[in-house]
Amino acid sequence: MADGYRDIVTAAFESSEWRTSADSIFQATGTSVSVLDFAEGSVLASTGRCGFCHLATGAGSPGPESCFDVPPSADCGSCRVTCRAGLATEIRPVAFEGTVVVHVMTAGFVTSTRERKRLYELLLVRGVKEESARLALKALPIVSRRAAESWAAMALSAAGSALAAERGRRMTAERSEDMAAVLAAGRRVLGATCGEPAALAQLVGDVAEITGASNGALYLPVRDGRLEVAATCGAWSEPVGTRVSREGTLPGRAYVTRRSVLSGEQSRRDRAIVALPVSVGDRVHGALAFSVDPASLPLPSEQAVRLERFMRFVALTLDRMAERERNARALGDNQRLSELAALLSGKTDIDAVLRVVTAALADAFPMQAGGIVLDAWGLDRADVVLSGPLNSSALRSLVAEAAGREGQSVDPDSIRVRGEGRVVDRDNAEENEWSTLVVEMEGDDLTVGSLFVASADGTRYGADDRELLQRIAAHAATALQRAALFSSVRDDYAKTIAALSASLEMHHRPASAHAGRVMEFALLIGEELGLPKEALEQLRFAGLVHEIGVAGLPHEILLRPSAGVASGLARLKSHSEIGASVSEQIAFLHDITPIILHHHERWDGDGYPAALAGEAIPALARILSVADAFAELTSPSPDRLRMTFWEAREHIEAAAGAQFDPAVVGALSSALDKQARAGATGLVGTDESQTQLPA
Count: domains in the chain: 4
86 DSSP 8-state letter: S
Residue at 524 is within a domain: yes
Q: How many Å apart are CA 663 and CA 300, to the nearest integer?
A: 87
Write down the pLDDT at residue 654. 93
Structural contact between residues 219 and 286, judged by C-beta atoms closer than 8 angstroms: yes
Decide: 215 and 307 in contact? Cβ < 8 Å: no
CA gap 171, 187 in Å, rounded: 11
Classify residue 99: in a domain, yes or no: yes
Give the chain's length: 695
Most confident segment among 134-143, 233-242, 324-333, 438-447: 233-242
Dump pLDDT digits (tens) for 242-255.
999 888 889 999 89
Bigger pLDDT: 123 or 691? 123
Q: Which of the residue ranges 258-267, 298-307, 491-500, 625-634 would you say has the lowest mean pLDDT?
A: 491-500
Q: Which residue has the higher pLDDT, 333 or 620?
A: 620
**In angstroms, rounded to a whole number, what is the distance separating the alpha carbons of residues 376 and 236?**
57
Tell me what pLDDT residue 669 has: 92
Strand partners, 390: 423
Whether pLDDT at 681 is above 60: no
Q: Do residues 397 and 534 both lie within one domain?
A: no
Whether 112 is covered by a domain: the verdict is yes
Segment 354-367, tens digit of pLDDT: 888 888 888 888 88
Rounded to whole angstroms, how far apart are CA atoms 109 and 112?
Answer: 9
Strands 88-96 and 99-107: antiparallel
* 247 and 322 housed in the same domain: yes
Q: State the Cα–Cα distance between residues 679 and 695, nearest whole angstrom.
A: 14
Say if CB 17 and CB 165 are below 8 A apart.
yes
Q: Where are the beta strands (DSSP E) in 531-678?
A: none
C-alpha span between 56 and 75 (Å, rounded): 28
Q: Are 203 and 218 in contact (CB under 8 A)?
A: yes
Average pLDDT over residues 324-330: 78
- Domain of 364? 346-478
| Residues 501-524: b if buried by 16+ CB within 10 A, e if exposed | beebbeebbeeeebbbbbbbbbbb
Transcribe 118-141 into DSSP letters.
HHHHHHHHTT--HHHHHHHHHTSP
Q: Would you put residue 115 in left (φ > 0), alpha (ψ -120 to 50) or beta?
A: alpha
Please provide residue 331's backbone torsions phi and psi, each rounded to the nearest 5 degrees.
-65, -40
**Rounded mean pLDDT of 456-473?**
85
Q: Angle formed by the axes of helices 645-654 and 619-633, to 10°?
A: 140
Residue 210 lies in a domain: yes
| Direct distance between the N- and C-terminal alpha carbons of the chain, in angstroms, rounded to an integer | 85
Task: Indicate whether 490 belongs to any domain.
Answer: no
Q: Reduce the DSSP state of residue 348 to 3 states and report it.
A: coil
Same domain, 422 and 473: yes
Choose the weakest-confidence range: 42-46, 184-188, 302-306, 593-597.
184-188
**Which alpha helices (DSSP H) does 404-559 contain, by range?**
463-508, 514-528, 533-545, 555-559
> Rg for the chain (alpha carbons), in Å?
36
Alpha-carbon span 525 to 535, nearest angstrom: 12
CATH code for the domain in which residue 427 is found: 3.30.450.40
What does pTM read for this prediction?
0.45
Which secondary-structure segment (H or E) carries 265?
A: none
Q: Are residues 547 and 673 in the same domain?
A: yes
427 in a structural domain: yes
Q: How many Cβ atoms are within 10 Å of 32's Cβ, its own excluded? A: 22
Query: Is the peptide bond preceding residue 609 cis, with omega within 30 degrees of 0?
Result: yes
pLDDT of residue 42: 85
Residues 141 and 192 in one domain: no
Number of Cβ within a 10 Å radius of residue 486: 14
Mean pLDDT: which of 305-314, 579-588, 676-685 is highest?
305-314
Whether the per-residue pLDDT at 377 is higher than 50: the answer is yes
Kindly indicate the confidence band of residue 188, based on its pLDDT and cuts at 50, 70 and 90: low
Q: Are residues 559 and 656 in the same domain?
A: yes
587, with CB counted inside 10 A (0-12, 13-18, 19+), is exposed
On whether residue 496 sits in a domain, the answer given is no
Longest Cα pair distance anywhere in the chain, in angstroms?
Answer: 119
Mean pLDDT for the stretch of residues 549-571 = 53
How do residues 64-105 score in pLDDT, each as one tens digit? 777 787 888 888 889 988 887 778 889 999 998 888 999 999
Specify the DSSP element, H or E, that contains 261. strand 261-262
Segment 452-477 mean pLDDT: 86
- At 92 the pLDDT is 93
Same domain, 156 and 196: no
| 106-157 tens-digit pLDDT | 888 888 888 888 888 877 887 778 887 787 777 777 888 888 888 899 999 9
Q: Are 27 and 160 part of one and the same domain?
A: yes
Is 278 found in the same domain as 135? no
Per the prediction, the chain carries an average pLDDT of 78
- Identify the pLDDT of residue 458: 75
Q: What is the pLDDT of residue 620?
A: 94
One domain for residues 123 and 80: yes
What CATH number does the domain containing 43 carry?
Answer: 3.30.450
Within this chain, do residues 136 and 237 fall inside the same structural domain, yes or no?
no
CATH of the domain at 551: 1.10.3210.10
Interval 28-36 mean pLDDT: 85
Q: Is 410 helix (H, G, I), strand (E, B) or coil?
A: coil
Pairing label, strands 423-424, 390-391: parallel
**Span 2-29, mean pLDDT?**
84
CA atoms within 13 A on the CB side of 276: 21
- The H or E element containing residue 231 is strand 227-233
Q: How many CB atoms lie within 10 A of CB 298?
A: 8
CA distance 324 to 157: 9
Q: Is 291 helix (H, G, I), strand (E, B) or coil?
A: strand
Within a 10 A sphere around the Cβ of 191, how many other Cβ atoms? 9
Within a domain: residue 465?
A: yes
Angle, to 10 degrees, between the axis of helix 533-545 and the axis of helix 514-528? 160
Residue 282: the pLDDT is 79
Q: By the 8 A CB rule, do 441 and 447 touch?
A: yes
Which residues are CB-contacts of 103 (< 8 A; sequence separation ≥ 6)? 35, 36, 37, 38, 72, 76, 91, 92, 93, 94
Under 8 Å between Cβ of 236 and 216: yes
- Tell me which amino acid residue 549 is: G
Same domain (yes/no): 195, 266: yes
Neighbours of 17 (CB within 10 A): 18
Q: Which helix (DSSP H) or strand (DSSP E) does residue 83 occupy?
A: none
